[in-house]
């Protein structure tokens, strides 16, 4: 009986070890699979930055296998990122395609916020479309604002941006905010989704992602701010498609 018990335990141990090895193998396969997607020629990498990255050496940053950059410009009706003007001018001197984004304040109307962005961000034919950064924040994380009110803010911004920049804007968001306000609306607006995970984004409601923020903890050379990490993004297509869409 004791011998049987020892044999059983030995077999059980082998099963546990084999199971653990299989789990590790799956994790390794997933790791290389997702990194092969991120690093393959099928996608084009870029960054998004704000004042948190401090002074940026755009020539050095651009020379690290990236092709585009989104720069924080404004927030609400009156805040301007303190480094926006410098970042915008210096980034545009590189090969990068450059765009700007606005962080939406739920307590201020969309037209006023859009006008603030327009007064801050130059109209450049070769820039990326303006970005509406829509994220639940603060108390709204636990008690989201009424859906119709938020959609009205976003719609007013879309109309103003289309009219002024003559480009369809992009909406940056995360899954929580997307599912709350966007999954059944604005079907014609491209989505830039924040999805820090091991698989490509999957959006409900028929939307397809145009950009994917896949990491918020990358470290590159060329900046010296209080934030040592930088956000990394992918375009949903190859370089030829990217150039054709944003030429």
Span 39-65, pLDDT tens digits: 545 679 999 999 999 999 999 999 999
Give SS3 for 2. Answer: helix
Quote the CA–CA distance of 147 and 153 in Å, as a whole number: 10
- Amino acid 3: pLDDT: 40
Find the farthest-apart pair of alpha carbons in the chain and give their distance in angstroms, rounded: 84
Closest CA to 206 of 188, 192, 181, 194: 188
Model pTM?
0.84
- Amino acid 144: pLDDT: 97
CB neighbours (10 Å) of residue 111? Answer: 14
Give SS3 for 99. Answer: strand
**To the nearest whole percent, how much of the chain has pLDDT over 70?**
83
Give SS3 for 54. Answer: coil
Quote the CA–CA distance of 151 and 172 in Å, as a whole number: 14
User: pLDDT for 153-187, tens place per residue?
Assistant: 999 999 999 999 999 999 999 999 999 999 999 99
Low-confidence ranges of the chain (pLDDT < 50): 1-37, 40
33 CB-near residues (< 8 Å, 6+ apart):
none
- Amino acid 178: pLDDT: 98
Quote the CA–CA distance of 113 and 123 in Å, as a whole number: 16
- Amino acid 171: pLDDT: 98
Q: Position of tokens 């099928």?
A: 42
Question: Strand 191-194 to strand 209-218: parallel, antiparallel, or no bridges (unpaired)?
Answer: parallel
Looking at the domain 43-245, which fold is it? Answer: TIM Barrel (3.20.20)
Any long-range contacts for 222-225 (C-beta under 8 Å, 24+ apart)? 222/56, 222/57, 222/58, 222/59, 222/60, 222/61, 222/64, 223/49, 223/53, 223/54, 223/55, 223/56, 223/57, 223/61, 224/54, 224/55, 225/51, 225/52, 225/53, 225/54, 225/55
pLDDT averaged over every residue in the chain: 88
């Amino acid at each position: 009986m004791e011998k049987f018990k020892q044999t059983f335990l030995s077999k059980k141990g082998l099963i546990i070890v084999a199971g653990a090895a299989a789990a590790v193998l799956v994790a390794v396969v997933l790791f290389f699979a997702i990194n092969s997607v991120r690093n393959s020629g099928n996608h084009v990498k870029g960054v998004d930055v704000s004042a948190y990255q401090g002074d940026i050496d755009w020539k050095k940053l651009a020379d690290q296998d990236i092709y585009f950059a989104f720069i924080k410009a404004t927030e609400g009706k009156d805040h301007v990122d303190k480094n926006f003007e410098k970042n915008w001018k210096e980034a545009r001197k590189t090969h990068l395609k450059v765009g700007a984004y606005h962080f939406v304040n739920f307590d201020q109307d969309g037209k006023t916020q859009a006008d603030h962005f327009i007064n801050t961000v130059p109209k450049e034919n070769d820039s990326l479309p303006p970005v509406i950064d829509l994220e639940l924040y603060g108390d709204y994380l636990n008690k989201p604002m009424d859906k119709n009110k938020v959609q009205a803010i976003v719609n007013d911004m879309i109309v103003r941006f289309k009219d002024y920049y003559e480009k369809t804007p992009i909406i940056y968001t995360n899954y929580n905010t997307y599912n709350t306000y966007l999954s059944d609306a604005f079907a014609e607006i491209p989505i830039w989704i924040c999805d820090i995970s091991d698989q490509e984004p999957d959006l409900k409601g028929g939307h397809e992602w145009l950009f994917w923020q896949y990491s918020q903890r990358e470290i590159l050379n060329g900046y010296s701010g209080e934030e040592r990490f930088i956000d990394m993004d992918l375009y949903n297509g190859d370089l030829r498609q990217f150039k054709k869409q944003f030429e």
